[in-house]
Structure 1
């Protein structure tokens, strides 16, 4: 993701110049810097954040180091686009929100890029228009072909994948989530031993709407993300590769799955346009001294719901969510 953003900033975004990269993998970051015409390289990301050549920062680092890096950006007063999750738990996310508030400036945008995806934007406008009446249900599907990382655990499905669906539900419905329950069928044989995959998360909102979320990170067919909104006078679906009834089939030989046409292999293909729009909006806003899109509070609330979701994953029962200020 970091390399993808670096290439995006260097070649496709107006109003910004890529000046520095940081990564502990010297070989990888050195090759990327050479590809991008000799960009400065820092072994320590905190050195990059402190550099006089840096006016704004994109964080695509592991969530476990986000808090330290975000606090460094806030202390220096530089705008930052932080990939999800904001941090790994609600306590550290709250510390980031409080630090930003204490500094007196909005500086943090969270990388929930679906808010910039043209299909999601159209669905949000349709729901907000009231043409279909009150929205009663959202059905959200989030499937990955596979998860190659050997340390990917059941909790990470909630914290790193479901977090997108939580933000989408809050944004599309315009209200807070008051409870979450995470359940699962028998795990797929493609999951690592002990990993609960797929998972179904059931969210209830303040108005009584229900959101069902399927997250399946070893689905084998490809990257599938879609939403169906069911309202009082109609429904709407986004993310389908074709109209009508269709099926997806895995390739026994390990290649990409198919529906009679290609399935996107990963998030970078499915949401390429959304990422471009997100980063361009962030650059434009940063130059104005503003923040657009998901804020640090949005990141905090999503992490708060995920924390409750991990409790429900362990117990199988609904867990209440209390959102401060809601």
Structure 2
């Protein structure tokens, strides 16, 4: 029996997920969509064999036709939709952020704990990228001894005009925040943001940023956030250990040798770089839902913890200095 899915938010990322889910893993299909733009929802639904456009996300959540929900709407709408899914007892895949404030994230955690059942998965897709999984396997397997340092970079060719300085942390570095927690199996205990010389290509935006994270076991991780590099989209991570280093390999599919130079092609954007990770992420989510198992990927606690760390980094960005991350004890449901 297939999984009948409702999707709230049918913009770019929503349509990317619909393409993978409709007629996808385990016979899944998209049977309902909703969007603040009713015309766009109707257009998307008309392109799918079994989907109906519903007037609101709330109606979609409680629809008897929907077994599970995918949320890819505007960030501030995530909290009420996720809470509605928990109340309805329906598994929900919510794109990051889980919610836009740590207080909202905590309300989701509390609601899930009260329900006594894990239903929420958050769309931190780095965990599903084959290269990142291989990196974690090398670190966990002791290939480089005890990890000591990590060096990361998150580079975008460009960002839209509405992109703000805070988004460099809350929208961009949030991926590295989850990646580091997952990679080392440790919580981040402090953050500090440094503002180097500003790139002339970033306009009024403070770009790049350098963020230093301290993990509970003493590992230090620096993250470069550069969002106007122009040459393409690039994600880097190298872990330095006691006996060696491990790093993500070059994602370029081919290497060109011509005109006296060697060059590899750089992905244009996140859709090209992480296409396979989205495939794996959604397939594994569907597998767990169909099996009736709790999510195996990043859950509500991970979304909450990432937001707490993000807020600490934002405080450092605005006020300067090292900011301790104050994270309460993890509830037993997530242990």
TM-score > 0.5 by shorter chain:
yes
2:189 is matched with which residue: 178, 193, 212? Answer: 178
Structure-1 separation of matches of 2:24 and 2:267: 21
CA contact (8 A) 1:135 1:229 kept: yes
**Structure 1 residue aligned with 2:164:** 153
**Structure 2 residue aligned with 1:252:** none
Deviation at 1:158, TM superposition (A): 0.6
1:319 is matched with which residue: 313, 320, 323? Answer: 323
Deviation at 1:130, TM superposition (A): 1.4
**Correspondence list, 1:105-144, <5 A:** 105-144=117-156
CA change 1:154–1:239 in 2 (3 A) is farther
2:228 is matched with which residue: 208, 212, 218? Answer: 218
Structure-2 separation of matches of 1:187 and 1:65: 33
TM-score after normalising by structure 1: 0.91
Q: Does 1:59 align with 2:67?
A: no
In structure 1, runs of 5+ residues without a counterpart are: 247-257
**Correspondence list, 1:1-40, <5 A:** 1-37=13-49, 39-40=51-52
CA contact (8 A) 1:59 1:83 kept: yes
**Structure 2 residue aligned with 1:282:** 285
CA change 1:224–1:40 in 2 (3 A) is same
Structure-2 separation of matches of 1:161 and 1:75: 30
Q: Say which SS state the counterpart of residue 200 (structure 2) adopts.
A: coil
In structure 2, runs of 5+ residues without a counterpart are: 1-12, 331-335
RMSD: 2.0
2:240 is matched with which residue: 230, 234, 252? Answer: 230
**Structure 1 residue aligned with 2:180:** 169
Count residues in correspondence: 312
Q: Does 1:270 align with 2:273?
A: yes
Deviation at 1:232, TM superposition (A): 0.5
Deviation at 1:14, TM superposition (A): 2.6
TM-score after normalising by structure 2: 0.89
**Structure 1 residue aligned with 2:212:** 202
Structure-2 separation of matches of 1:96 and 1:19: 26
**Structure 1 residue aligned with 2:312:** 308
Structure-1 separation of matches of 2:163 and 2:252: 32
Runs of 4+ in 1 over 4 A off after TM superposition: none
CA contact (8 A) 1:9 1:17 kept: yes
Structure-2 separation of matches of 1:169 and 1:113: 13
Structure-1 separation of matches of 2:159 and 2:62: 34
Q: Say which SS state the counterpart of residue 190 (structure 1) adopts.
A: helix
